């Protein structure tokens, strides 16, 4: 990477990719029933707003989904893979212990030489990655960055735990950030509280040639719910203040897609109309680090998010982590 003058970062393109296989709540309820586990479309829809999720077939890895989303974002931005000088993948379900999923994506895209690394902040991963890429661009250490959120969360779910397995899906979303004269990224703020690691974790690892600990996602749903609403509200107010804007200036809220009741409560606390909240969790479920870029791309492509709009992206999840990125769309 070469050192250049300070500058701003702007969103030049977005893309996303979902595995083909759709599993509805009814499909899932029928599958779980074969193992004596009871759930229903009514319970899942009423408690979460989720109606279906996309699940990757065995053998399809995070880097596969990430690469497809990246290709679409590059095409949208009119950028060639060899123009990239920074690739960041936010994921908690990497293909390997190492190399990073970002390096695998780089190879699949045919880029050589860009810096490439993963960011691990679970469902806050995409806002962590965007904030990192923005800092690289503003510091003059990158000119053209690819930021991806990609997950195959289906691989770390305990499919015998109805309290978690109904909540998640697989997918990927990507953004191309380019150096620009005027800021696209207006402000960003990130936080973590590691003392709350136990409310949402997958506390397993690979060591001595075997899996150690518990490789499945575990969650205290009610604790996560309460924390999520609180921290997202505070973070939304802070990032707007940092940018010298108010919530009234925000055209679209693109929050992490976990539970529609969290989004409704957040909108009420922030006094933001529900019409301004992008919701994709009904179709995608919770895709962790992929949820925000998937929602951003969906709302851009269906024409809701337009050039000049101010978009507030928010992540929250395991760690416990949370954060926001405020952007004006190019
Ligand atoms: C997980 C969540 C949907 C559970 O909803 P809830 O209203 O808190 O429900 P509870 O956990 O109190 O469970 C209520 C009952 O439903 C049952 N239940 C849990 N999952 C169920 C399912 N899939 N189908 C049917 N019943 C279910 C529970 O066993 C419990 O039964 P009981 O009363 O007989 O003990 C909710 O807490 C939530 O969404 N939390 C946030 C999770 C999240 O967003 N995580 C990711 C953040 S990044």
> Is 256 known to be catalytic?
yes
The answer to the question of residue 3 being in a domain is: no
Q: What's the chain's average pLDDT? A: 97
The answer to the question of residue 2 being in a domain is: no
Q: Whose CA is nearest to atom 16 of ligand 1?
A: 163
pLDDT at 7: 87
Average pLDDT over residues 117-129: 98
Residue 42 burial by Cβ neighbours in a 10 Å radius (0-12, 13-18, 19+):
exposed
Question: Are 300 and 215 contained in the same domain?
Answer: yes
Question: Are 67 and 196 contained in the same domain?
Answer: no
Question: Are 64 and 189 contained in the same domain?
Answer: no
The answer to the question of residue 50 being in a domain is: yes
Closest atom, ligand 1, to C-alpha of 225: 41
Question: Are 192 and 222 contained in the same domain?
Answer: yes
Q: Whose CA is nearest to atom 1 of ligand 1?
A: 221
Question: Are 42 and 175 contained in the same domain?
Answer: yes
Distance 49 CA to ligand 1 centre (A): 12
| Among candidate residues 149, 180, 211, the one where a domain is terminated | 180
Helix (H) or strand (E) holding 175: strand 170-180
> Is 286 known to be catalytic?
yes
Write the pLDDT tens digit of every residue in 228-274.
Answer: 999 999 999 999 999 999 999 999 999 999 999 999 999 999 999 99
Do residues 76 and 89 touch, judged by C-beta distance below 8 A? no
Residue 2: pLDDT over 50? no
Do residues 190 and 179 touch, judged by C-beta distance below 8 A? no
Question: Are 156 and 32 contained in the same domain?
Answer: yes
Q: How confident is the model at residue 113 (pLDDT cuts 50, 70, 90)?
A: very high
Question: Are 49 and 127 contained in the same domain?
Answer: yes
The answer to the question of residue 19 being in a domain is: yes
Residue 147: pLDDT over 60? yes
The answer to the question of residue 90 being in a domain is: yes
Average pLDDT over residues 200-229: 97
Here the CATH number for the domain that contains residue 242 is: 3.40.47.10
Distance 307 CA to ligand 1 centre (A): 39
Number of structural domains, the chain?
2
Write the pLDDT tens digit of every residue in 30-44.
Answer: 999 999 999 999 999
| Percent of the chain whose pLDDT exceeds 70 | 98
The answer to the question of residue 1 being in a domain is: no
Question: Are 261 and 226 contained in the same domain?
Answer: yes
Name every protein residue with a CB atom under 6 angstroms from any ligand 1 atom: 39, 43-44, 47-48, 123, 162-163, 166, 219, 221-222, 224-225, 258-259, 286, 316-317
The answer to the question of residue 48 being in a domain is: yes
Neighbours of 226 (CB within 10 A): 14
| Among candidate residues 121, 152, 180, the one where a domain is terminated | 180
Adjacency order of strands within the sheet including 144-152? 8-17, 170-180, 144-152, 86-90, 115-119
Question: Are 73 and 176 contained in the same domain?
Answer: yes
| Among candidate residues 127, 150, 180, the one where a domain is terminated | 180
Q: Which of the following is catalytic: 54, 103, 123, 165?
A: 123
Residue-range definition of the domain harbouring residue 44: 8-180
Question: Are 84 and 232 contained in the same domain?
Answer: no
The answer to the question of residue 299 being in a domain is: yes
Question: Are 111 and 257 contained in the same domain?
Answer: no
Q: How confident is the model at residue 5 (pLDDT cuts 50, 70, 90)?
A: low
Average pLDDT over residues 82-111: 98
**Angle separating helix axes 41-48 and 25-33, nearest 10 degrees:** 130
Average pLDDT over residues 221-228: 98
> Is 284 known to be catalytic?
no
Average pLDDT over residues 266-293: 98
pLDDT at 1: 45
Question: Are 244 and 131 contained in the same domain?
Answer: no
């Amino acid at each position: 990477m070469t050192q250049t003058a300070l500058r701003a970062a702007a969103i030049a393109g977005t893309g996303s990719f979902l595995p083909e296989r759709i599993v509805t709540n009814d499909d899932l309820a029928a599958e779980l029933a074969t193992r004596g586990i009871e759930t229903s479309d009514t319970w899942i829809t009423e408690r979460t707003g989720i109606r279906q999720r996309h699940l990757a077939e065995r053998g399809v890895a995070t880097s596969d989904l990430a690469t497809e989303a990246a290709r679409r974002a590059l095409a949208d931005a009119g950028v060639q893979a060899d123009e990239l000088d920074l690739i960041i993948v936010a994921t908690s379900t990497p293909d390997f212990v190492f190399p990073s999923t970002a390096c695998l994506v780089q190879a699949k895209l045919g880029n050589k030489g860009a810096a490439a690394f993963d960011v691990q902040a679970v469902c806050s991963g995409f806002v962590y990655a965007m904030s990192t890429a923005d800092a690289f661009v503003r510091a003059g250490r990158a000119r053209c960055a690819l930021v991806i959120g990609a997950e195959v969360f289906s691989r770390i779910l305990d499919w015998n735990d109805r309290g978690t397995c109904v909540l998640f899906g697989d997918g990927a979303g990507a953004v191309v950030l380019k150096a620009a004269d005027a800021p696209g990224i207006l402000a960003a703020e990130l936080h973590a509280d590691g003392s709350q690691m136990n409310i949402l974790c997958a506390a397993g690892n690979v060591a001595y040639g075997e899996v150690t600990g518990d490789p499945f996602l575990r969650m205290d749903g009610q604790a996560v719910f309460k924390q999520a609403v609180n921290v997202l509200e505070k973070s939304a107010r802070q990032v707007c203040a940092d940018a010298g804007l108010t919530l009234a200036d925000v055209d679209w809220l693109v929050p992490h897609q976990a539970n529609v009741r969290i989004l409704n409560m957040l909108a009420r606390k922030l006094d933001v109309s529900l019409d301004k909240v992008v919701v994709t969790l009904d179709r995608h479920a919770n895709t962790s680090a992929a949820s925000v870029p998937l929602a951003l791309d969906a709302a851009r492509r269906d024409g809701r998010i337009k050039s000049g709009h101010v978009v507030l992206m928010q992540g929250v999840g395991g760690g416990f982590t949370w954060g926001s990125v405020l952007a004006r769309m190019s």
